Structure 1
Amino acid sequence: MTRPARIKAALVGTALATVLTTLGTGPAHADQRWKETAAQGTALTPTNGTNHCISPDGVDLNMLLSIREPIIGPVNCRVAFAKKPWVRTFPSWGTAASAATAVYPAGYTPSLPNPFDDFLLKFLGVRVTQDIGTPQEQSVSYGPEVLRLVTPVEGLPFGTFATPAIPGLRPGPHTSTVFFRMAFEHCDGAGTDQEENCLPAGEVQYTGDTPFEVVKKRM
């Protein structure tokens, strides 16, 4: 049984507000505070020598995260080159600022007092599946190194994720789905809703099936 994607808005400065609220797709929860606000824009087609993912408000995600390959994630960064490596980004994860401000569902006790430290302790990595449910389905798994940045936003810590380079695919339409792997249950300390505020032990689906296109590289 898969769990609906947990979508949180991580606003790292005004320039990154759109970027980090659109790092993936998936159903939004009833809690309006954390609904994903999809940026408007058209897919960027990489050109020779230019793999940069530019957010709708002009932020270069490749420079921000020191990534050379094309990025798949934000709604206007959904194109990669045929048989060339690419990188997957997906929604950030945030927690309460400290043990002093954290609240949890009944019966849950964190392993570490600080909520984000508790997440770091339990986060094992991700599995990224391409073309899920089709004959072409394939998966790659990565460890905790996919957490690239931890940034305070209005006093709350948020983690930004990006995979290492993923092997290239054949030309055509594809999807990418991200699953989190957790050693133990983790709750973020930001609320008491088990579904909204917690990640269960084991593997849980974290995003929806993000569509993207693989094109032949221009000569």
Structure 2
Amino acid sequence: MKPTRMRAAVVSLVLATVLAAAGSGSAQARQQEPARTTAEAAVPTPDHNCKSPDGTNLNTFLGISERIIGPPACREAFVGEQWVRSFPGWGTAASGVRARYPRGYTPARFDPMDDFLSKLLGARVVNDIGTAQERSHTFGPEVIRRIADFDGIPFAYFGSPPLSSLSAGAHTTTVFMRLSAEHCDGLGRRPADNCLPGGEFVYHGPIPVRFFPLNEQPV
């Protein structure tokens, strides 16, 4: 699977919450995607096979039987379905031997992926952030579904535990990540491109999703 790598736009919990509620701000704007209209949103297929941009079946790759929501082609579900929130993987240098870090950064573990895993506390999925319908779900390191190499770079791939169905209509979903301390990937020396902050921060989203009534499911 060709992974999608997070870059740059990580912000603090306070800033992210304020920007999500206000619907403005440069850092948040880089992550937020325009909601599709009802006409543009495709009714989801009855099966639960979510395909990544390179054609990988994410349900098979991540070992998930529920419908996956996250990639651009997988943002619709039917009311009543449980669903799993996936979000972009995080890759690091393969080894600490040739790892390159920003000035002043000292990893807690020799190999960069081990450093990331030692600091990952979990993730929080927030649906309909900044609205009266906002709901938050907090998870631990079990959000890591698989660690696999791509072009010699180890990637951690993520998926939440199953979430309850949302109501019919348009929604948003946002992923916050929690780290015990700053982590840098060993792939470069620019903090904005190669590091994640300690604490809780926006990692992915908000992205638009839509739940369709069951009577719209194809026979």
Class of the TM-score when normalised by the shorter of the 2 chains: 0.7 to 0.9
SS in 2 for 1:206: strand
Work out the percentage of aligned pairs sharing the same amino acid: 48
2:64 is aligned with what amino acid?
A: I
SS in 2 for 1:209: strand
Deviation at 1:61, TM superposition (A): 1.4
1:130 aligns with 2:127: yes
1:109 is aligned with what amino acid?
A: T
Q: Which residue of 2 aligns with 1:21?
A: 4
Structure 2 unpaired stretches of 5+: 11-30, 32-39
1:161 is aligned with what amino acid?
A: F
Match for residue 171 of structure 2 among 154, 171, 174: 174
1:45 is aligned with what amino acid?
A: V
Asked whether the 8 Å contact 2:95–2:112 carries over to 1, the reply is yes
Q: Distance in 2 between matches of 1:189 and 1:25?
A: 14
Q: Which residue of 2 aligns with 1:83?
A: 80
2:157 is aligned with what amino acid?
A: T
Deviation at 1:55, TM superposition (A): 3.6
Asked whether the 8 Å contact 1:131–1:137 carries over to 2, the reply is yes
SS in 1 for 2:204: coil
Q: Distance in 2 between matches of 1:166 and 1:125?
A: 16
Deviation at 1:44, TM superposition (A): 5.4
Q: Which residue of 1 aligns with 2:61?
A: 64
Relative distance call for 1:104 and 1:26 in structure 2 (3 A) is closer
SS in 2 for 1:190: coil
- Scaled by the length of structure 1, the TM-score of the pair is 0.78
1:191 is aligned with what amino acid?
A: G
1:43-192 residue pairs with structure 2 within 5 A?
Answer: 45-48=43-46, 50-192=47-189
1:21 is aligned with what amino acid?
A: T
Cα-Cα RMSD: 2.7
Structure 1 unpaired stretches of 5+: 1-15, 29-35, 37-41
Q: Which residue of 2 aligns with 1:10?
A: none
Relative distance call for 1:51 and 1:26 in structure 2 (3 A) is farther
Relative distance call for 1:57 and 1:68 in structure 2 (3 A) is same
Q: Which residue of 2 aligns with 1:4?
A: none
Q: Which has the higher contact order (CA 8 A, sep 6+)?
A: 2
> Which one has a larger percent helix, Structure 1 or Structure 2?
2
Asked whether the 8 Å contact 1:44–1:76 carries over to 2, the reply is no
Deviation at 1:56, TM superposition (A): 4.9
Deviation at 1:155, TM superposition (A): 1.6
- Scaled by the length of structure 2, the TM-score of the pair is 0.78
Deviates more, 1:172-181 or 1:50-59: 50-59
SS in 1 for 2:114: helix
Q: Which residue of 2 aligns with 1:6?
A: none
